[in-house]
Amino acid sequence: MTLTGREMRTHIDEEGTLTLSLQSVTPGEPGDDEVIVRVEAAPINPSDLGLLLGPADVASLESVDDETLRFQVPQERLASVRGRLGQSLSIGNEGAGTVIAAGRNAKALEGKTVGMIGGGMYADYRRIAARDVAVLPEGTTAAEGAAMFVNPLTALGFVETARMEGHSAIVHTAAASNLGQMLQKICLADGIALVNVVRSAEQAQILRDIGARHVVNSRDADFTAQLTAAIHETGATIAFDAIGGGTLGSEILHAMERAASENAPSYSRYGSDTFKQLYIYGGLDPAPITLNRAGFGFQWSAGGWLLFPFLQKAGKETVTCMRQRVAAELTTTFASRYTQVIGLAEALQADVLRRYERKATGEKYLIDPRLG
């Protein structure tokens, strides 16, 4: 079988010009332990946008032709992507589709609808190792299974991290996102208190409608008091921050320290003895991270959290249980809802890209290459 299809690729040259384009590729024959999947659905996640656009200035967007867009990366941001300059990179962390060819050790997968992870999903066809696909439950569509890895495993990973590190309650920012809603549903089912931080009344209502008890709006005048009260009530000592830049992470640590100090038997110049953990897992705000040390004592830590290093740390047994739970609750707890389904070429239309690049809460786009 000789297949030729399109694949979206991103390239930054030495001068800082970022080019997005569709290229013609031939996946080749599957190896013994490989399959070829006709891609039928691939979500646009924030992590995909990080590779697709990097630190480019979206305002510099220039439409070269129907299948090519060009941007400029400001010189002061170029150092952050020095390692990818000159490379043409495929895009799309996860997706789903139909197995149309399989190597001799993977023949049982032929004709199956599968979810998959491994990059390069913004394409007509994807050749991939059989171990990186999962057969979708009977009756599940490719669109329903396209986002079964990144957000579901991240949400479950937050809960597992909290448990592994001895925390009983969690704070989460950008909490009305698809991922945030999954996390709230998990916490409700597992009896874990969750403090949701949002930035609008509409986002707060999304979470309350699915049963959230603790929701605070960072734009309210009394946000600091609300956050401290919610943390005091829940005992939350670990936070997962999707915003990254700015002062929100620092404000959460301050609120944790204030909540811990309310019941302290005596004053200590070193702060409370309650350990507080801040994990930054996203970069919705590209501004520098500001941590104001005054106010949260010495019992704290801040660091980054990424899904794949966590999965390696968690071990095979834990990861297997996580994946089984996702498969069992794919259309309930881990269901993703999409604002719009677009074709592969449509994703490179300037007006469409501007819409999905905004990363607006409640808006999620799905690519179906079969639409053109």
> What pLDDT, in 10s, does the model give residues 149-193?
999 999 999 999 999 999 999 999 999 999 999 999 999 999 999
Helix, strand, or coil (residue 169) = strand
Average pLDDT over residues 281-294: 91
- How many CA atoms, within 13 angstroms, populate the side-chain half-sphere of residue 336? 33
Poorest-confidence range of 268-272, 343-347, 368-372? Answer: 268-272
Average pLDDT over residues 113-133: 97
d(CA 295, CA 249): 13
> What pLDDT, in 10s, does the model give residues 296-348?
889 999 999 999 999 999 999 999 999 999 999 999 999 999 999 999 999 99
What pLDDT band is residue 359 in, cutting at 50, 70 and 90? confident
> What pLDDT, in 10s, does the model give residues 61-108?
999 998 999 999 999 999 999 999 999 999 999 999 999 999 999 999
Q: CA separation (Å) from 340 to 124, 337, 360?
A: 19, 9, 13
Q: CA separation (Å) from 96 to 40, 74, 250, 341, 359?
A: 6, 35, 38, 14, 22
> Taking 80 as the threshold, does the pLDDT of residue 351 lie above it?
yes
Average pLDDT over residues 11-21: 97
Flag whether the pTM goes above 0.85. Answer: yes
Residue 217 one-letter amino acid: N
Say what the pLDDT of residue 35 is. 98
> Of 133, 146, 116, 172, which is closest to residue 305 (Cα–Cα)?
172
Say what the pLDDT of residue 249 is. 97
Residue 272 one-letter amino acid: S
The sign one gets for the Cα dihedral 94, 371, 126, 69 is negative
Q: For residue 165, what are its two tokens?
A: 């590190």
Say what the pLDDT of residue 144 is. 96
> What pLDDT, in 10s, does the model give residues 199-224?
999 999 999 999 999 999 999 999 99
The CA-based angle 233-236-242, given to 5 degrees, is 125
226-230 contact pairs (CB < 8 A, 24+) = 227/195, 227/197, 227/251, 227/252, 227/255, 228/255, 228/258, 228/259, 230/195
Q: Considering the chain, what is the average pLDDT of its residues?
A: 95
Bridge pairing between strands 133-135 and 169-173: unpaired
> Of 169, 196, 192, 167, which is closest to residue 181 (Cα–Cα)?
196
> What pLDDT, in 10s, does the model give residues 98-116?
999 999 999 999 999 999 9
> Of 141, 153, 114, 150, which is closest to residue 130 (Cα–Cα)?
114
Say what the pLDDT of residue 363 is. 82
d(CA 105, CA 158): 35
> Taking 70 as the threshold, does the pLDDT of residue 257 lie above it?
yes
d(CA 361, CA 326): 22
List of E strands, the chain: 5-12, 17-25, 34-43, 57-65, 68-72, 88-90, 94-102, 113-117, 125-129, 133-135, 169-173, 193-198, 214-217, 238-241, 244-246, 276-280, 285-289, 300-304, 340-342, 365-367
**For the stretch 288-309, what's the b/e string if a residue is b when 16 or more beta carbons lie within 10 angstroms of its beta carbon?**
ebeeeeeebbebbebeebebee
> Of 157, 155, 202, which is closest to residue 179 (Cα–Cα)?
155
What pLDDT band is residue 2 in, cutting at 50, 70 and 90? confident
Say what the pLDDT of residue 244 is. 94
d(CA 6, CA 348): 13
Length of the chain: 372
**Residue with the two structure tokens 């305002």:** 59
What pLDDT band is residue 278 in, cutting at 50, 70 and 90? very high
Q: CA separation (Å) from 84 to 48, 87, 109?
A: 15, 6, 35
What pLDDT band is residue 1 in, cutting at 50, 70 and 90? low
In this structure, what is the dihedral angle of CA atoms 160, 162, 165, 168, given to the nearest 10 degrees?
-130
What pLDDT band is residue 280 in, cutting at 50, 70 and 90? very high
